[in-house]
Structure 1
């Protein structure tokens, strides 16, 4: 049973879904949790298919038209000049620079710790099978813009790529009218701080398409424009159009995950602090009117207290209208459950991008969560910490894809290549097994390729 907010304007209350007293299977739980309306997803897919065809067909000319249409800027070529990067870093507020440097330091430390080791395993005498991690050749990193600036997303994309050893790194972020068609200057400064000099003023689905397929030189309306070389992997968060574009180019390039409009789920019991929970729900709702904020709780009293706190806190937050739109959408709400067992099941079905666990014995409860992009444990690990300075990565799977996708990390930019090195004696030990199995599968030439070496 669901109830809608009682007011169409201003924050009134969250949609409620009451699952108490019901035994539901996984498919039923997935249907019951709040989600973005399917019509929105379908509309985005139709639009992105058109953008893919346009950018592939007309290159720089299409990019220029899309920059004018969506960003209101006139553009001959999207490449950001080197001097603009240097000037942005020089003009960066010292306090912002210090904060970025701290974030970079923690992200680098965690990224280095994530790097997997190569394995050389002797399966028998003279027989070694290895797994060697090799970085991809080139990556395209997307940093969103529009309603906010995201220099933190520069860090989250760039640091693990560099830690993986990627040799060619390109970054795109939407052009901004207020900066003369350049991306946000803090974004440029963060790129410069990390030594990234290939930066493009490209936003939305078109940036993803340009990276995935590349753009030929001289394809703009006036014949200008250097080529944009295609990449092997595209990563980064964005709106529903960016996430849809990543899904549609997957297979042409690798992607990290479908990191679309942000979402937070909070699993809480009677012990949770309602002021903290409300603040955390608002923190993600301020990203985007399509952001999702979901509370899963076994305590109706907590649910009521959180709504009371929301009324107070939403009224004084900076982006009130955006927050109210997000909290009032079908993607947000309260899910009432019988107990923590049912709450864990709901959270695993929802597979949140960000999941906070604020319960008694929070660490033990968090250990039971199998599907989430990132898990934040206890009162003093808010999602905002992960957005900036935890050392973790904030580019995470959304829309339930955390059930099978991982957040951005060093291995996103690595491939495990297997190396097989047998000498003659080692091959001879298994030769008859290979011949037998090849005949059993009806592929005798496989066995012949071994037998010929001992003829």
Structure 2
């Protein structure tokens, strides 16, 4: 199988690695303008524009926005209709995701100074959140769980889900996941029009406070353009996996772990780093043998040829340095002492520990969220979590003594900035002003 072979000892390694890992979501001018036009139409014409775009892009034939909303009875019916094995798997995954995210929930706190001044932080959930779940060629019930359950755990008042259904075809597993996750309202709407409707609201679709969830280039661009009117989780790029292996794991396992991300799309990135050159050769052989057994072989071959790599490093210490440099979405540590190595990782969306922890388990049922930062944004951002659906308000409550004491700090600082009203506002609370 064609893929990139790199060696950290080569003089051109840094240049080749930079080119390999570079992925800029350049804003296609035509896409940006089309999205801008869609958003403007939804803002101006509301439901009529949403219906029009849905009929055009999803080959639907509906006359009213109400035809695009599914009832709770329809979701429950889908849950009852799917095979028992699927229902049990969804329920088990939801339970694990819920259990993990419950531990993320933050609580309000406060304390008092010696003079009785109260300081603290009040935690409140968003009133309403919108989750976007892709539809069409592929169905992603796991994305329903990963987006809706943290919102529910956070205490969000209402969860609105958007998921397109081209041709009016509904996916029972996605609907069942929505029922299990506690989605309040589900609209079969996709694309930029769905994001615009969530951001500004229409007569039939309520405006939300935050939009989360993955989507195609039009959804990503729409999220970029509505940010500021509403919050968003992130602008995600292609899926990524970086595997560090000491050469002692079954090469078939590692090959399939790389494929688990390469099969997403042609721009996905799968990289293996190891100090063992012979092991890299064995993985390459496994990749060639296993690719022909997979339905998405063509996509995998393209991804591995364009953005995949097998990298030989000097030792595992250098592998850790590479991991921190690349800051991958998914990082597998297929080594003897994975937790010790993980303590040295500063930048990764999710870290998978040991030979028996494939990234695929994290995608579906391990518990942590699979909505992760891509394109090296793990340097400054985190997985989607309960904290994304909670807000923090500062609490400040001065006692008379506290107001007096703080005025002698605030007054001089305010005057140094030329803000006299600030200074006098504080100074009027002094005890000697009574």
The TM-score normalised by the length of structure 1 is 0.87
Which piece of structure 1 moves more, 262-271 or 134-143? 262-271
Give runs of aligned pairs for residues 46-445 of structure 1, distance below 5 A. 46-76=33-63, 77=65, 78-177=68-167, 181-214=168-201, 216-217=202-203, 227-329=204-306, 331-445=307-421
Q: What's the CA shift for 1:42?
A: 6.3
Of the structure 1 ranges 295-304 and 438-447, higher mean CA displacement relative to structure 2 is found in 295-304
SS of alignment partner, residue 429 of structure 2: helix
User: Compared with structure 1, are the counterparts of its residues 388 and 113 closer, same or farther at alpha carbon in structure 2 (3 Å cutoff)?
Assistant: same
Q: Are 1:257 and 1:407, in contact at CA under 8 Å, matched by a contact in 2? A: no
**1:20 aligns to 2:6 (yes or no):** no
Deviation at 1:327, TM superposition (A): 2.4
Change (3 A) 1:345 1:71: farther
Tell me if structure 2 keeps the 8 A contact 1:240–1:261.
no
Shift of 1:249: 2.2
| Change beyond 3 A, Cα 1:147–1:269 | farther
Q: Aligned-pair distance for 1:19?
A: 3.2
How much has 1:92 moved relative to structure 2? 1.8
- For residues 298 and 40 of structure 2, the distance between their equivalents in structure 1, rounded to whole angstroms, comes to 35
- Contact map agreement 1:272 1:302 (CA 8 A) in 2: no
Say whether the 8 Å CA contact 1:170–1:196 is kept in structure 2. yes
**Distance of aligned partners of 1:416 and 1:40 in 2 relative to their CA distance in 1, 3 Å threshold:** closer
Does the 8 Å CA contact 1:296/1:336 hold for their aligned counterparts?
A: yes
CA shift in 2, pair 1:158/1:270, >3 Å: same
Q: Is the 8 A contact 1:29 1:349 kept in 2?
A: no
1:344 positional shift: 2.2
Given that 2:132 and 2:212 are in contact with CA atoms closer than 8 Å, whether structure 1 keeps it comes out as yes
Change (3 A) 1:386 1:79: same
> Matched residue of 2:129: which SS?
strand
* TM-score between both structures, scaled by the size of structure 2: 0.91
Cα deviation for residue 383 of structure 1 reads: 0.9
Q: Would the alpha carbon gap of residues 213 and 67 (structure 1) be closer, same or farther in structure 2, given more than 3 Å must change?
A: same
- Comparing 130-139 with 230-239, greater Cα deviation is found at 230-239
Deviation string, structure 1 residues 158-195 (Cα, Å, up to 9, x no partner): 11101110001101112133xxx154221111112233
Deviates more, 1:37-46 or 1:288-297: 37-46
Gapped regions of structure 2 (runs ≥ 5): none
Give the whole-Å Cα distance in 2 for the aligned partners of 1:85 and 1:240.
28
Gaps of 5+ in 1: 1-11, 218-226
The number of residues matched between the two structures is 428
